[in-house]
Structure 1
Amino acid sequence: MFLVVNVFLLLSFMWLLASLRLINGHNSCSGRVEVLYNGIWGTVCDNSWDLMDAAVVCREMGCGDAIEAKSAAYFGQGSGPVWISDLQCSDMNTRLTYCQSSGWGRGSCGHEKDAGVICKDNVRLVSGTNPCYGRVEVFRAGQWGTVCDDSWDASDAAVVCRQLGCGTVLEVKNAAYFGQGSGTVWMNNVTCFGNEPTLMNCPYNATPNKCGHDKDAGVICGSVKVLLRVKVKANLGVDPNAAGILNKLSEEIEKKLQLNGTFSLKTQADGKIFHKSTGAAP
């Protein structure tokens, strides 16, 4: 009995070492299925891969129902080990690693058979003029409902924007800014860290709660492109376009601007970024 208990505990611990992600999809709810096991990311073989297996992935990722189970490296070939093959999941499985399979790393698949999935987003933005801003609604128990604005902030909104492939947060909206929804207020006191793959992966209080639809949360997602002309002072004989100096200038400019996003310096037609000013010095 002592040996059996230890083996069981070891296997349970091995499951805890596994994690899941979707890669190369159009949002965090589609892509190549990858599993982290013992610190190494690997893929899943499409042998026996079907909608039932894909449904487990979608549930585990907080992504709603499975729309399609993809095979033959539909989302591109991965790298590392092909960790799992011949999956046989059921409706009772809550995690992919709980499904029956041939075992870790025991299949003979190559990455040309990497499995993928497309899930139905269980989050949508409603009552805006485009799909990237509006009232936040989530799909649970077969019906759409809303999110309470208690504790609703930029970290929570950022997860929604990223999940929907809508860029970054431009504005966080409260107090039914986009109008009052209907149905159940499914989530309250959402406290995302901001790096979760979906809103449903964030900590929150489920119903029942005291929120009414007058407190429905919303968000405006998008991207902002800002063009700036930067003037630098260089000592005589110093070329600001030299690789080492240019890298240092880029770092300093980024620090001064306190950017939260991508940043690049534009190369002119002559291949240079900085040019000597012909105007008077300030």
Structure 2
Amino acid sequence: MHGIGVHGAGLGLRRAFLAPLADCPPAAVDFYEIAPENWMRVGGRLGKRLRSLTDRFPFLAHGLSLSLGGPDPLDEVFLQELKGFLDTHGIRFYSEHLSYCADNGHLYDLMPIPFTEEAVQHVAGRIRRTQEILERRIAIENISYYAAPGRELTELEFLNAVLDEADCDLLLDVNNVYVNSVNHGYDADAFLAAVPAARVAYLHVAGHYRDAEDLLVDTHGAPVIDPVWRLLDRAYSRFGVLPTVLERDFNIPPLEELLREVVHLHNLQAAHRPSRRRYA
């Protein structure tokens, strides 16, 4: 495992949080995560507010649009601009989704890459080139998916093959493991047990929507549910207490409500490090 320069509990930054964070930054949040595409060309008052936060607190960046598995040529102009943004703001680490989101234009969704040997080689080459341009190691995130056309490998076999071939790290989304385990009928604990611990850089946790008993939709629009918290606890048992980001993208509540989940996250981590203080 490669250190990413942050620790503890993180929160996905949203523009609505800029003012309260500037006025009274919460002690429970150890670091923040942003989608660089939402900020790279932002100037003026918002740009200055972001810079004031990145000057004061550790930040990670989690990409949305690189389309690592897509058929279009890798956008190297975007990557050069991204590198400048990461350097300017002192971003500690960058991650992207193991998916594609563009095919002669953006699709505005994270589509699953076919689980095939050919796709392993395709996406791994693009990850290696991304790391060369950015001059830094990156992590890829396991996504939620609802169909797997042309499958030759299992999700786990595909993920591990890409990590090995690309020689990159993993952003392990615990909620996505839970969602996929329900939707595709596999054992979430067995999945965690087969993930290479040395590759896991940090973790995501989020909420989802239950459409049916056997269909969960990854929305990031609800509180984290108890089975996902329990799976996160077991992830800490397997991988150690890694930095973990709470994500919330829709139905965003007041910051105070999200901070209660961050406090729960901290206390879950503290249970694996009894010497550390807990938050009330």
TM-score band, normalised by the shorter chain?
Answer: under 0.3
Higher helix share: 2
Higher strand share: 1
Structure number with larger C-alpha Rg: 1
Q: TM-score, normalised by structure 1?
A: 0.26
Q: TM-score, normalised by structure 2?
A: 0.26
